[in-house]
Chain A
Amino acid sequence: MEKKWEEMSADEKQEAQFQKLLTPKDPEGNDLKFQTPEAEANYKASINRIKDAVQLKKTPDRVPVALLPSMFPFINAGMTIEEAMYDYDKTVAAFRKFILEFKPDMNIGAAQAGPGKFHEILDYKLYKWPGHGVAPEHSYQCVEGEYMKPEEYDLLITDPSFYFNHFYLPRVFGALEGFTMLPPPTGILEIYGVAFNFIPYALPPVQSTFKALFEAGAEALKWAMAIGGLNGELASLGFPNILGGFTKAPFDTIGDTLRGTRGIMVDMYRQPDKLLKAMDALVPIMIGMGIGSMQQTGNPQIFIPLHKGADGFLSDEQFKKFYWPTLRQVIVGLIEGGCIPFPALEGHWDSRLKVIQDVPKGKTMWMVDQSDMAKVKETLGKNACLMGNVPSSMLALATPDEVKAYCKKLIDTAGKGGGFIMMNGAFFDHAKPENIKAMVDVTREYGVYK
């Protein structure tokens, strides 16, 4: 008899996830109909290649190649970022063209542009986007700030969800102002007085917040149907997207968009204990976020963009005290839940390698931006699959021959013995198409394991 999911070990869960990826379903739950036998063979070969690279048990047939662009597909299709954010048919057309042109073994779907109108409906203040603070041809950009105040740690620690609803969300979404009038749901008990809890829902600001939510939900669904439909289509053509969702390192959760870079750094001095406690409180939430989206999408890979742990941001001591412990707990929790954590080492991480190599073997895949790949291979690479390291500057400015030479070197060092996926090192907007092609081509030819 088949084991129940809860009874499986982390190994068994991962194996079950890959088996599921090898037998993809359509939205109705039937076996996905591939458009050609060749598409089916390519799809499965890609999944197996990635599986071998991740598990570190056997060498794949060749080095897999993945492409994780930011706005490149839209720029390459000759449209503005504004068009990509507001016209979902155009988004889908550009991303389809991108995948069919470069044919990667793995992609993460067309979600990067995001639905512009949705952001408008909710009056999103955390970002500027085309037509809302940046030019039509430029990407959205984050507006750093102290969206959480220094004296609010206790509120966050006690009840993170209530803190988000009542304080954080209304600050970053203008249309959610009505949330500030809602009482904590945990006050809803018994019969005496229970109705008092619901009075705020009669108030006009709360009602207009809910109206905005319904409208935003409808817009988000419209967008998700468009890009989800494309995912199914691309899978049927042989191109898998195995991204299941994303989560964050607790230090970045607080440092990126709650307290901000300056805020969290000052907190490390003025209130280190509260910061540590808040990160502890966020660990199960960050794990749940990954597992929850894995269950929703059916895909195991959980992306974890890593920011403030990079070289230079923190001292070794600060990194070991503030950044790594809770990140490691999140990674391990995700693995135990059947996810494949996919952290991205943005920037340089050379000084952190000895610390971060301490992860369960064959369970994670790491996007490496500008770190020294030979050193990463000797450390983290012993326990984990590595991806990336082709620099953005090279993709944008070098010649195809230079790209090929760089990729060959990567295959020789990082690709040795398996455990490597060729990929761009950072999400990219601008690149020469011939350089992307060079990266893919050289991997298909030179990356074959003998």
Chain B
Amino acid sequence: MAGKLVKLLSDLKEPEALAFVDKSLAEGADPMDLLGQAKEAMNIVGERFASEEYFIPDLVFSGEILKGIVKKLEPHLKKGEEEKRLGKVVIGTVAGDIHDIGKDMVVFMLDVNGFEVIDLGIDVPVQKFVDTIKETGSKVVGLSGFLTLAFQSMKETVDAIKAAGLRDKVKIMIGGGQIDDQVKGFTGADAYGKDAMAAVKLAKGWIGG
């Protein structure tokens, strides 16, 4: 039955996917194999999103189904090795801005594409970005913002990273409602991404994978 869950999840068939997991577990299937299938399915979802076959509702719903599957698998999984990740990305909505939908979408896409994402949340103080870069040694930073006040907060964050002597150690990408290349220039970031897939592409370009 290898691959059946891949198809059910990537086609967003929620009741069927969950029923399949129940049935497989009852029949003694390897939970690690099912988890692997779920991850493969999420990669397909990501690809479909990138090729504009899937849109945000589909992405959100796939995440919901995945949550349900993982909940069923968790009691059966042995604690142990984490899979190898491509690299670390620090991400957050900049100081003063509490919007999280766009940021969460980027976090989700980076995660399903194999990055270890350190999500600092919303209204993130400048120093918190600096400290986290130091602690984690992350090479990529994502700054999110929806309001025009974010232009200034992004610039201040980039400046603080520079002042901490970390600017040549990280690549910085920005994104959000009113963000464009002009804002990129103003903030001193390395790149601006239009959507979640752009963030994945940028991170892959910088980190590899």
Contacts and interface: CB of A to CB of B under 8 A. Distances in A.
B178 A426 contact: yes
B127 interface: no
Interface string A416-431: 0000000000101111
Given A139-B147, A391-B178, A318 B57 contact: yes
Contact of A144 (B100, B151, B182, B186): B100
B183 A397 contact: yes
Interface of A: 128, 133-135, 138-139, 141, 143-144, 261-262, 265-266, 268-270, 312-315, 318, 347, 391-394, 396-398, 426, 428-431
A135 B61 contact: no
Question: What are the nearest 8 A-B pairs in CB distance?
Answer: A265-B57, A430-B148, A265-B60, A392-B178, A393-B182, A315-B55, A269-B61, A141-B98
Contacts of B147: 138-139, 141, 429
A426 B152 CA distance: 18
B183 A393 contact: yes
Contacts of B100: 144
A270 B57 contact: no
B55 A314 contact: yes
Contact of A141 (B54, B99, B183): B99
A322 to B, nearest CB: 9
A430 B98 contact: no
15 contacts: A134-B96, A141-B97, A262-B60, A265-B60, A266-B64, A268-B57, A268-B61, A269-B12, A314-B56, A315-B55, A391-B178, A391-B180, A393-B179, A396-B148, A397-B151
Interface string B48-88: 00000011111011001000000000000000000000000
A143 B100 CA distance: 10
A310 B113 CA distance: 25
B156 interface: no
Contacts of B55: 312-315, 318
Contacts of B148: 392, 396, 428-431
Contacts of A429: 147-149
B36 interface: no
Contacts of A428: 148
Given A138-B96, A144-B100, A429-B148, A265 B178 contact: no
Q: Which of A314, A398, A429, A430 has the most CB of B within 10 A?
A: A430
B98 A312 contact: no
Nearest to A351: B52
Contacts of B61: 265-266, 268-269
A143 B101 CA distance: 11
A261 B98 CA distance: 15
A144 B54 CA distance: 23
Interface of B: 12, 14, 54-58, 60-61, 64, 96-101, 123, 147-149, 151-152, 177-180, 182-183, 185-186, 195
A134 B98 contact: yes
Q: Which of A143, A265, A391 has the most CB of B within 10 A?
A: A265
A430 B182 contact: no
Contact of B152 (A261, A315, A430): A430
Contacts of A134: 96, 98, 123
A261 B56 CA distance: 10
A208 to B, nearest CB: 30
A275 to B, nearest CB: 11
A262 B56 CA distance: 9
A393 B148 CA distance: 8
Contacts of A266: 57, 60-61, 64
Contacts of A430: 148-149, 151-152
A134 to B, nearest CB: 7
Contacts of A398: 182
Contacts of A143: 98
Contacts of A396: 148, 151
Contacts of B56: 265, 312-314
A314 B60 CA distance: 11
A430 B177 CA distance: 14
A312 B64 CA distance: 19
A128 B99 CA distance: 11
A150 to B, nearest CB: 11
B149 A397 contact: no
B155 to A, nearest CB: 10
Nearest to B54: A315
Contact of B182 (A269, A314, A347, A394): A394
B149 A138 contact: yes
A266 B63 CA distance: 10
Nearest to B101: A261
Nearest to A313: B56
Contacts of A144: 100-101
B97 A312 contact: no
A433 to B, nearest CB: 14
A391 to B, nearest CB: 7
A238 to B, nearest CB: 29
A396 B152 CA distance: 10
Nearest to A395: B148
Contacts of B60: 261-262, 265-266
B83 to A, nearest CB: 26
A269 B149 contact: no
Nearest to B184: A393
A138 B64 CA distance: 34
A314 B180 CA distance: 22
A348 B195 CA distance: 12
